[in-house]
Amino acid sequence: MSDKPLVAVIDWATSPLSEAGPTIEQEVVGDAAEVRRYVCASDADFPEAVTEARALIVWHNTPITAVGLGRLRRCRALIRNGVGFDSVDLTAARQRGIAVCNVPDYGTEEVADHALALTLALCRQLFPLDREAKQLGWAIRPEVEGRLRRLRELTFGIVGLGRIGTAAALRAKAFGFQVWFHDPYLPNGVEKALALNRARTLDDLLRRVDVLTLHCPLNQETRHLLGARELSLLKPTAFVVNTARGAIIDKAAILAALREGRLAGAGLDVVEDEPLQSAADAATPNLIVTCHAAFCSREAKREMRQISARIARGAVRGEPLENVVNGVSPLSPGPAPG
């Protein structure tokens, strides 16, 4: 180890996404610190070197608990290499003066594009038609034909009009959808600025829409936001799209609705307790599933890593931090050196 401060990149052992040599991060951090990558299943696997790091960049799904945070002796910032931060104990980090940051904007275009791709695949029944053609048939079967829809006559409903939700709304408008949204945290007038329609309650939105797409974070308020009751409010001809977090939808409830024909289809980039756990789940009718890949493009991945590294560099230098999500002042002293 060098005498420079350490920035530790924590990659998830179950599904590593980084590279052995974190060259992009080191390019951004420069001479301010040494950047090293560690592959861990959880914070219980942190080697001693990580406990001395000034900043941690944490890839997806690696759980960071109060116990793990308690082992960090010099850390000023923990940067979630992505939008979501539900894998980090925010309260414990705040109590230790560790700023938790995220990268909320790196995959905005990709996730919005993916949500619309799933929507189009459902509304135009691309996968059933593809299967028919590849079986050397050429019939539009009645059950498929009944799900083919004209987009400009459909209502596209959005839960959560943040960066990605807004990007999805603009794309849906370009395709001719009638766009509605529900977001209780936005001020009055947002709908006028964007020429959208606003539903004041989730129930009102659910009753209106032909396509429902989710763009909200996962927290105590939104866990199982769509359960059996909420799904029952949707039209049986409606489609549900989720590119946010899997547990926003009760997996058992939505799979039951699809199997029983109470929902026309679903396009899920994320599922509760991902990946799918059984062949029966995978065989659910009218279900499209992608591998938590909505965020992914080579451009987005590089941008995400550059932004995370920029925040880590700021932490090492004692500079104001971007995208703090747990209320820790960017200039607070943080944990005392051990």
Q: Which residues are catalytic?
A: 245, 274, 292
Q: Is 267 exposed, middle or buried (0-12, 13-18, 19+ CB in 10 A)?
A: buried
Copy the structure tokens of residue 4.
């420079």
Closest among 338, 295, 273, 334 to 56, alpha carbons compared: 334
The token pair at 117 is 């791709």
**Using an 8 Å Cβ cutoff, are 125 and 237 in contact?**
no
| Contact of 241 with 266, CB cutoff 8 Å | yes
- For CA atoms 270, 276, 281, 282, the dihedral sign is positive
Give 183: exposed, middle or buried? Use CB within 10 Å, 0-12, 13-18, 19+. Answer: buried
